[in-house]
Amino acid sequence: MWGGGDYMMRAFCRPSWGRVLTACVAIAVLVAIAVAGTVIWRRLALDAPPAPVATVTRGDIEEIVLATGTIVPLRQVNVGAQVSGQLKTLAVRVGDRVEQGQLLAEIDPILQQNELKRAEAALTHAEAQRTAQLALLRQHRLALKRELAMRKADANTEADLEAASTQADTTAANVAALDATLRQARIAVESAEASLAYTRIVAPMAGQVISVVAEAGQTLVAAQMAPTILVLADLDEMLVKARISEADVVRVRTGQGGWFSILGAPLRKIPVVLRSISPAPPVTPGSDAATAGGQGGAIYYHGDFLVANGDNALKPSMTAQVSIVTGRAPGALRVPAAAVSGPDQNGRYTVQVVRYRADGTIAGGETREVEIGLSDHVWVQIVRGVEEGEPVAIDPQGEAKGQA
């Protein structure tokens, strides 16, 4: 009995080859995973990109000043009414092209015609009075002549001579007064004729109607200010009025070239030349030149650029993104702006020149002082300090450097 129990106990405690095999497989899998992870980690470490490096190259650099502008017609006229009355006819519409002298609108002329008739009647009356006074003056002068002859013969009294002289002088004065009245009457006629002519409103220049303010049948009152009927502009030549900040205006000069683009065609660069710069900021209503720009606000100066608009692609009030070229360096030695550090407290700029090992890995770098020139915020011109083809390190957080 006891023998059988010992046999069973030994059978129970005997190791299981299945469990041993399972444990060995698990250990092998863990070792394989560890080895694979190590290999992958090393491979990733080898494949990790090195620090960004750029090569000193040659290329063109343009230093520019950026400004935002508004496109306006070079010539624009608000056509208004110089006389009061009802707008009888409006002969044009928005978009119509007109020639100089072409009829645009007509005001009912009845009031001006009546005013002209009254002025002409007053002129005729003044002419008749002057004719009568001239006849009377001749009569009085003849009478004075007779009195003088009689006085020599002592055939009359001194009082008779004085009376004849006084009548002649008075009549002459009346003629002079009527001459002045006659001139006034003629001026009144000319004014009435001009007012009648003003009822026919013609184009003061060739151009295009860009706005119509009044409508046919509307009553216009020109007592204090000439009411605007329509706006006429020459769209063949446009003016770009750019707002140049006070920080940039010291760098621009008349005659400098550049280009601008519009929101509808951002890739189209339209060449322009700076025509003029305003000597002071534009004055807004309620302020003066001394306070233009506001208290503590940004101050801008207007720069004007003339541009041809033969295809009429440019419209009034469009927004223009203007680039003014303040400097140009063709074929300059240059590096990316992010490769330049500085200026430091002494105004010096530096770059990190990269050194390579024989196997192509980076061995380190050399800090080198450089002299910079122009910058377009992407590239910086290097005047002195590095040579073409040398590798330089790029700071990904670096900012574009300005002109030294």
pLDDT score of 361: 80
Token pair listed for 139 = 């009569």
Whether the per-residue pLDDT at 32 is higher than 90: the answer is no
Interatomic CA distance for residues 306 and 274, integer angstroms: 8
Whether the per-residue pLDDT at 247 is higher than 50: the answer is yes
The DSSP string of 207-222 is EEEEEE---TT-EE--
- What SS3 state is found at 332? strand
- Specify the pTM: 0.66
Burial 187-214 (b: 16+ CB within 10 A, else e): ebbeebeebbebbebbbeeebbbbebeb
**What are the extents of the domains in the chain?**
2-47, 53-62+328-393, 67-73+234-325, 109-198
Query: Contact 175/134 with Cβ under 8 angstroms?
Result: yes
Whether the per-residue pLDDT at 36 is higher than 60: the answer is no
For residue 48, what pLDDT band results from cuts at 50, 70 and 90?
A: very low
Whether the per-residue pLDDT at 189 is higher than 80: the answer is yes
pLDDT score of 297: 73
- Phi, psi for residue 31 in degrees, rounded to 5: -65, -40
Query: In this prediction, what percent of the chain has a pLDDT beyond 90?
Result: 63
Q: What is the mean pLDDT of residues 67-73?
A: 95
Q: What is the mean pLDDT of residues 362-370?
A: 87
Interatomic CA distance for residues 123 and 156, integer angstroms: 42
**What amino acid is encoded at 96 in this protein?**
D
pLDDT score of 404: 42
Q: Which residues contact 253 (CB under 8 A, 6 or more apart)?
A: 274
Token pair listed for 100 = 């100089």
Q: Which residues contact 251 (CB under 8 A, 6 or more apart)?
A: 65, 326
> Which has the closest alpha carbon to 334: 52, 62, 58, 64?
58
Q: What is the mean pLDDT of residues 281-288?
A: 67
Whether the per-residue pLDDT at 379 is higher than 70: the answer is yes
> Is domain 67-73+234-325 in CATH 2.120.10.30, yes or no?
no
Q: Which option is the CATH number for 53-62+328-393: 3.30.930.10, 3.90.650.10, 2.40.420.20, 3.40.50.300?
A: 2.40.420.20
Q: What is the mean pLDDT of residues 115-138?
A: 94
Peptide bond into 343 cis (omega under 30): yes
Dihedral sign computed on CA atoms, order 36, 42, 47, 51: positive
Interval 341-362: pLDDT, tens: 989 998 999 999 998 887 878 8
> Which has the closest alpha carbon to 104: 190, 192, 211?
211
For residue 190, what pLDDT band results from cuts at 50, 70 and 90?
A: very high
Laid out side by side, the sheet with 219-220 consists of: 200-202, 103-107, 85-90, 219-220
Whether the per-residue pLDDT at 127 is higher than 70: the answer is yes
pLDDT score of 358: 79
Through-space distance between the first and last CA atoms of the chain, rounded to whole angstroms: 107
Lowest mean pLDDT among 40-49, 171-180, 324-333, 364-373: 40-49
pLDDT score of 152: 87
- What SS3 state is found at 366? strand
- What SS3 state is found at 58? strand
- Phi, psi for residue 30 in degrees, rounded to 5: -65, -40
